[in-house]
Amino acid sequence: MADHDLSKTIIPYLDRHLSFPLLAHLAEINLYPKEEVQQAQYELAKGTNMADYAVSLFEQIYPGKEVPTEFDEKRKNVVEKNERLQQEAQAVLDVIENPDVAQALRQDKNQNLQYLKDNYNLTLEQITALYNFGQFQYSYGNYSGAADYLYHFRVLSTDNDLNTSAHWGKLASDILTGSWESALEELNTLRDTIDSRSPASLLASASASANNLPDPALSQLHSRTWLAHWSLFVYFNHPQGRTLLLETFLSPTYLNTIQTSCPWILRYLAAAAILSRKAAAGVGAAAAPISSRVRHAIREVVKVIQTEEYQYADPVTSFLKELYIEFDFEAAQRELSLAEEVVGNDFFLNEFKDEFLDNARYLISEAYCRIHQKIDIANLSERLNLSQEEGEKWIVNRIRETRMGADARIDLENNVIEINRPPLPVYQTVIEKTRQLAVRTQALGVAIARSGSQGAAAAQPQTTKPDAAIQTVAVN
Amino acid sequence: MSRFFRQAGDSDSESSESEDELMSSEDEAPPKPSTAAKPAMSRFLRTAGSDSSDSSSEEEESESDSDDHTHREEADEEESDEEDRPQIRILSAVDKRLKEMEATGKVMENALKINDWMAISNEFDKLVRMIQRQQNLSEPVPAFYIRTLVNLESSMNASNAKALTAMKQKIKKAVKEYETEVRKYQEDPETFERDYLNLVSRDVTPATVTQPTRSGAGIATDQVDEFTTVGKGGKAMQFTSESIFKNLQAVQEARGKKNTDRAEQIRILELLLDVANTSYQRIRVLLALISSRFDYNSSVSSHMPTELWLAAQREVDQLVSIVAADHNYSIQEMTDDYDELVERSPTTEKGVVRIRGSIISFIDRLDDEFTRSLQNIDPHGTEYKVLYCTICRAQAFYEKTSQTEPLGRVVMRRLEHIYCKPDAVVQALEAAADTSEVKPEMTLAKQKTTSGLVHALCVYLYKSGNSLLRTRAMLSHIYHHALHNDFYAARDMLLMSHLQESIHSADVATQILYNRTVVQLGLCAFRSGLIKEAQGTLQDIFTTQRVKELLAQGVHQQRFQVMTPEQEKAEKQRQLPFHMHINTELLEAAFLVSSMLVEIPLLASIESEEQKRKVISKPFRRLLDFADRQVFTGPPESTRDHIMQASKALQDGDWEKCRDLIQSIKIWSLMPEAAAVKEMLAKRIQEQGLRTYLFTYAPHYSTLSLSLLSRTFSLPLRTVTSIVSKMIWNEELSASLDQSGGVVVFQRIELTRSQQLAQVISDKVAAMVEQNEKTLDMRLGGTAWGERTDGTKTEKRGEQAQERRGRGERVRGARGGARGRGARFSQGLGNQMPSGQRGQ
């Protein structure tokens, strides 16, 4: 099963500290030899300031051996540095935590800075101390402290780069402390920052490419890739996470990112699409806020999986492919049993294993029933990896709880389900077709009225546009 | 005739009469037999003969007297000039070469004594070149050359750093080349020399006879690099190494003037090259010589004669090797002014001698001329290799001197020679390039595969700043990927490059390259069995009906407008040489077959006239309609006939006939992996045949056994089930499967007339609103309004029932091009239309 394990692919896109949970998970599931995983953990810890943790890991790996002295030194250094930085930061913190100051602070950062400088003699350098201390705390594992300091820093600082960096730091800290709500908030703001950078940098891109600087578009792609990986932590832990994941990853920009730089994310996309099936298909009108994107997630995901098939395939994606592209139910069933194992072993997905299985079964039965008229229960149970008894129970439940119930009947004598779907009446299709027309026409009218009021002067260049469009078509 | 023969006889007897005359008759002897067959030439020949005998005898009498020759009649002189040239050259070359070689050998021996390896190296180069020329004229290799080789090899133990090692390599190479001779010589030097002398005296008796005559006549051939010849207008021109620059300047001044005889100029320069003995002189002469070779034919339309081209190529090679071997000289397009008449050397210039000139432009020109000649004559192999070697050598040179701009151009040239070639050809080219002494950084040997080589070249160009080169490199790279059936990589690169947006503003050559790339991509998709992709890719280029023109493989005849001659000429120049052509017939076959596979099931699924207008492949439809109208169809002859009849067979559900027809198309043999492609086609035909069959005959069945279908189309049951399921799921087919019975159950609803009409009108109204939206979209530039419509659309999509889900996509598809074909189906043709119209 190790060949479907994504830890190795994902870890390069994660922060050092974020990798610890992943490795801990790997140590639990025995996919790799335990020693190797421990070795990896040790190597990872060595690079951080968490000297104690590294030492304990070292002792685990080499039980009898002497702990290298470098850790002692390191520890000492860390403690010293910690104190120094804390003193620096404390000065700022004292000022900020003063209730008078808290009240005096406004939205405008520049104004705030000026205010702090005038009244408390607080300069930008001192505020940067907050950042340094936060970063340092993060590096030795005090994540909640780090989150605090970085938050304060961000409120005050005007430095764009450091702010973004603080954003990332805060997100990581929130993830590691497990405060998913704030992590989600952080994630969203960070996403906005990354996205909003594009229009400004578009102008710069022309000059940048001439100067041989790293292309802003490229760096944006990089940050998006990173964000996609980090967000997995949040999305698979936050209660609303799966639908939000679909919402984010199916937006064109992130879909592009996934397709170009990290196709393996498709596994999580596919899994999320399957998991959120109920939310999508379920309560219908009651779940109105769910966007169409999520509603048709599976269809969209299948499309992407099909186009990216040559780049990436694993049991989860091929399950969807077999089911919705090939309609090969046997193969789908086979893939499902493989996928079950993969999901069970995956760090992000393992908690959702049962839910995943349940939903996947539902998808199979739905597709199967739509295509078939008369179904042998034994056969269907087999398709769903269930015994006949279980299968019957399961199917009955399905029929009861979904709208399928209206059309399907179980014939116990022959042990078959008969599905009778009356074709859609003609008048209904006509109504469907014409329903929206009035609204759309109104919208047209509004648009015309608005453009008319914009003035005739603007109309002149606009009328030339259709010609241009036609020309390009002709040339094509 | 008789007069002529007598004349010929006369000169023969003359020659036997006196020793003085012997030389002149010697002059005349070779051309006479060959021209004797042409009576028309006889008059020229006679005068020519007498002329040159005159001149030589006169020279004999008084050398200084040569100015007197001016009094001759102009016409006579012109003729003689034409006839003279080759003869004089041959004569002077034969003895001069030998002498020169001997002198070189002597210099080398001297240098050997004082251990001056630098000088030896230079001299040896010269010697090797001379031997090369000797061989070109199929004359025996002189014995003393072998002797020198052996001597040098044995005395190679001295220690003198760089020059020595370079020399060692050269010697090794040369020794290897003449291995047998060397061995013979080592066994018995005396016999070998004697053998050679015998050989020479037998072969070149006349030459040896002439030698004493000439020296006896007092012409200044004693000195190695000095001799006299009769220049135009009878003036004796003295070519010595001292006067080289003067002569060079004279030639350069004459260059471009109206009545300069270009051939004459080239000849003078060739002679100058022979006498030039320092690197500086050689470079200067070569620069002038190469440009005048390119000047030789001024007209743009005709191509360079092959011999001239070869000579030019050799000279460029020589030039590059001189400059590459000697770091003290560099050729640059921009230099400080310098006195053209003064000999310069590294010592006088204190370092690097810069000479004005541009190797890259020579190579460009060489390549262009080559392409042009390929456009006009049959493709030939050997020059190709030679040219490629030259380019490689130049690349190595630029790499060494790290001049980025010309290096980019050279790399591009090289890339252009290999990107469209199959592996075997590239390997052959690279093998040829490998034998040259200087190697560029990127070779096949280092990169292992041709793709690796192309990748390395392209990556270099991507990094270079020039955007045009980058674009072309990108296209070539994509082309190469496509050629190697790497469809996804090629497609992704093409899409990510965003070239399709900017290609309209590119220059014509790049556009042609773009078209070629797109077409190759289509073929690649076809080969890998991605029929829909192939159809979509090739569609664009075939709807224009100007495939040949767009690929620059033929001039398009426009029926209603006449092209101006200039246009035509420009068009002709753009044409690609034959070996780069993409076979248009194969292309058409691929396109039509993929169109057939896409279109026929679609046609079968359509019932009403209305929907028939939605066409995917117009050219295919047109052909099909045309074929339909024909009263009598004979056995298929052309590729098109085959495909049309196959289409009909497919429509009738007769997939076997369709398959046979398609597979019997001969043009497939031009495709690599033809067998695999045919197999793939057979499979696709089976599948599409099944689909077509279902669409066509569904109204006539209420149930259909899956096993029967599987037997009829000899597909495995699983595939059949999968295909049928897919059609049901996509609502192309209103049916369902009965698992226990193993049958497809078709469902039909009969619509009343009014229901039917109601549907039609609702469709039309919807279409109208859509059209309005689109029009407004265009009016408003599609910004604010466009977003809003998108918004309403997605909202709408959410609300609509599943049956209508394809709609929003169809709208997008219509905007974005040929996307979402499946969506077309899901518009609900499946179950709502009356079945009565289906059969047609």
Q: Which two tokens stand for residue A333?
A: 């069933």
Across chain A, mean pLDDT equals: 75
Region A230-241: mean pLDDT is: 84
Q: pLDDT digit string (tens) for B79-129? A: 444 444 444 444 455 666 677 777 777 777 777 777 676 777 777 777 777
Tell me what percent of the residues of chain B surpass a pLDDT of 90. 0
**B730 CB-near residues (< 8 Å, 6+ apart):** B822, B825, B826
Round to whole Å and give the CA distance between B486 and B494. 12
pLDDT computed for residue A169 by the predictor: 84
Mutate to test the interface with A, among B511, B514, B722, B750 (most CBs of A within 10 A): B722
Judge: B766–A444 Cβ closer than 8 Å, yes or no: no
Contact yes or no for B308/B293 (Cβ under 8 A)? yes
Of A426, A462, A476, Cβ closest to residue B759: A426
Give the torsion sign (CA, A366, A368, A373, A378). Answer: negative
Of A260, A291, A374, Cβ closest to residue B739: A374
Residue B728 has pLDDT above 70, yes or no: yes
Contact yes or no for B477/B493 (Cβ under 8 A)? yes
Residue B816 has pLDDT above 60, yes or no: no
Q: Categorize the per-residue pLDDT at B318 as very low, low, confident or very high, splitting at 50, 70 and 90.
A: confident
Contact yes or no for B551/B519 (Cβ under 8 A)? yes
Eight-state DSSP code of residue B139: P
Q: pLDDT digit string (tens) for A24-57? A: 888 777 777 877 888 888 888 877 777 777 777 7
Of A372, A429, A462, Cβ closest to residue B780: A462
More confident residue, B794 or B459: B459
Asked if A432 reaches chain B (Cβ–Cβ under 8 Å), the answer is yes
SS3 B741: coil
Q: Please list every residue in chain B whose beta carbon sits closer than 8 Å to the beta carbon of residue A373.
A: 736-738, 745
Judge: B832–A371 Cβ closer than 8 Å, yes or no: no
Q: Please list every residue in chain B whose beta carbon sits closer than 8 Å to the beta carbon of residue A426.
A: 749, 751, 755, 758-759, 832
**pTM above the 0.80 mark?**
no
Q: Please list every residue in chain A whose beta carbon sits closer than 8 Å to the beta carbon of residue B545.
A: none
Residue B792 has pLDDT above 50, yes or no: no
pLDDT computed for residue B438 by the predictor: 57
Round to whole Å and give the CA distance between A260 and A434. 40
Residue A198 has pLDDT above 70, yes or no: no
SS3 B614: coil
Asked if A202 reaches chain B (Cβ–Cβ under 8 Å), the answer is no
Q: Which two tokens stand for residue A386?
A: 């269930």
Asked if A436 reaches chain B (Cβ–Cβ under 8 Å), the answer is yes
The chain A residue lying nearest B542, using CA atoms, is A476
The chain A residue lying nearest B504, using CA atoms, is A475
pLDDT computed for residue B52 by the predictor: 42
Round to whole Å and give the CA distance between B485 and B521. 9
Chain A: closest CA distance from residue B757 (Å): 10
Judge: B776–A444 Cβ closer than 8 Å, yes or no: yes
Q: Categorize the per-residue pLDDT at B385 as very low, low, confident or very high, splitting at 50, 70 and 90.
A: low
φ, ψ (nearest 5 deg) of residue A365: -65, -35
**Location of structure tokens 């003295």:** B238
**B578 CB-near residues (< 8 Å, 6+ apart):** B374, B375, B378, B379
Contact yes or no for B634/B642 (Cβ under 8 A)? no
User: For chains A and B, what is the number of CB pairs under 8 angstroms?
Assistant: 135
Residue B300, judged by CB atoms within 10 A of its CB (0-12, 13-18, 19+), counts as exposed
pLDDT computed for residue B374 by the predictor: 64
Judge: A376–B763 Cβ closer than 8 Å, yes or no: no
Of B694, B628, B623, B693, nearest to B654 (Cα)? B693
Mutate to test the interface with B, among A257, A293, A436, A470 (most CBs of B within 10 A): A436
Q: Please list every residue in chain A whose beta carbon sits closer than 8 Å to the beta carbon of residue B805.
A: 296, 299
Eight-state DSSP code of residue A326: I
SS3 B303: coil
Across chain B, mean pLDDT equals: 66
Asked if A453 reaches chain B (Cβ–Cβ under 8 Å), the answer is no
Asked if A440 reaches chain B (Cβ–Cβ under 8 Å), the answer is yes
Asked if A327 reaches chain B (Cβ–Cβ under 8 Å), the answer is yes
Round to whole Å and give the CA distance between B474 and A203. 24
Residue B426 has pLDDT above 80, yes or no: no
Of B779, B798, B801, Cβ closest to residue A432: B801
Asked if A400 reaches chain B (Cβ–Cβ under 8 Å), the answer is no
Q: pLDDT digit string (tens) for B40-67? A: 444 444 444 444 444 444 444 444 444 4
Tell me what percent of the residues of chain B surpass a pLDDT of 70. 47
Q: Which two tokens stand for residue A345?
A: 């072993």
Region A157-169: mean pLDDT is: 78
pLDDT computed for residue B615 by the predictor: 64
Q: pLDDT digit string (tens) for B606-630? A: 765 555 556 677 788 888 888 888 7
Strand partners, B238: B228
SS3 A367: helix
The chain B residue lying nearest A375, using CA atoms, is B739
Residue B613, judged by CB atoms within 10 A of its CB (0-12, 13-18, 19+), counts as exposed
Q: Please list every residue in chain B whose beta carbon sits closer than 8 Å to the beta carbon of residue A295.
A: 798
Q: pLDDT digit string (tens) for A427-473? A: 887 888 788 788 888 888 888 887 766 544 444 443 333 333 333 33
Contact yes or no for A463/B779 (Cβ under 8 A)? yes
Of A375, A423, A439, Cβ closest to residue B831: A423
pLDDT computed for residue B156 by the predictor: 61
**B769 CB-near residues (< 8 Å, 6+ apart):** A437, A440, A441, A444
Longest dimension (CA), chain B: 119
Q: pLDDT digit string (tens) for B546-603? A: 777 777 776 655 555 566 667 766 766 667 766 677 788 888 888 888 888 888 888 8
pLDDT computed for residue B135 by the predictor: 65
Of A327, A432, A476, Cβ closest to residue B729: A327
Q: State the DSSP string of A105-163.
A: --S-HHHHHHHHHHHH---HHHHHHHHHHHHHHHHTT-HHHHHHHHHHHHHH---HHHH
φ, ψ (nearest 5 deg) of residue B330: -140, 145
Strand partners, B237: B229
Judge: B725–A371 Cβ closer than 8 Å, yes or no: yes
pLDDT computed for residue A422 by the predictor: 67
**Location of structure tokens 């000849």:** B267
Helices (H), B188-330: 189-203, 205-216, 244-254, 262-275, 279-295, 306-325
SS3 B725: helix
Asked if A379 reaches chain B (Cβ–Cβ under 8 Å), the answer is yes
Report yes or no for ipTM above 0.90: no
Chain B: closest CA distance from residue A228 (Å): 21
Q: pLDDT digit string (tens) for B513-544? A: 888 888 888 888 888 888 888 888 888 888 77
Q: Please list every residue in chain B whose beta carbon sits closer than 8 Å to the beta carbon of residue A444.
A: 769, 772-773, 776
Chain B: closest CA distance from residue A326 (Å): 6
pLDDT computed for residue A175 by the predictor: 84
Most confident residue range from B234-238, B283-287, B326-330:
B283-287
Q: pLDDT digit string (tens) for B463-474? A: 776 778 888 888
pLDDT computed for residue A209 by the predictor: 40
Round to whole Å and give the CA distance between B360 and B394. 8
pLDDT computed for residue A428 by the predictor: 80
Region A242-259: mean pLDDT is: 84
Q: Please list every residue in chain A whose beta carbon sits closer than 8 Å to the beta carbon of residue B759.
A: 426, 429-430, 433
Residue B809 has pLDDT above 70, yes or no: no
Of B589, B588, B592, B608, nearest to B600 (Cα)? B592
Contact yes or no for B457/B464 (Cβ under 8 A)? no
Residue A244 has pLDDT above 50, yes or no: yes
Region B453-471: mean pLDDT is: 79
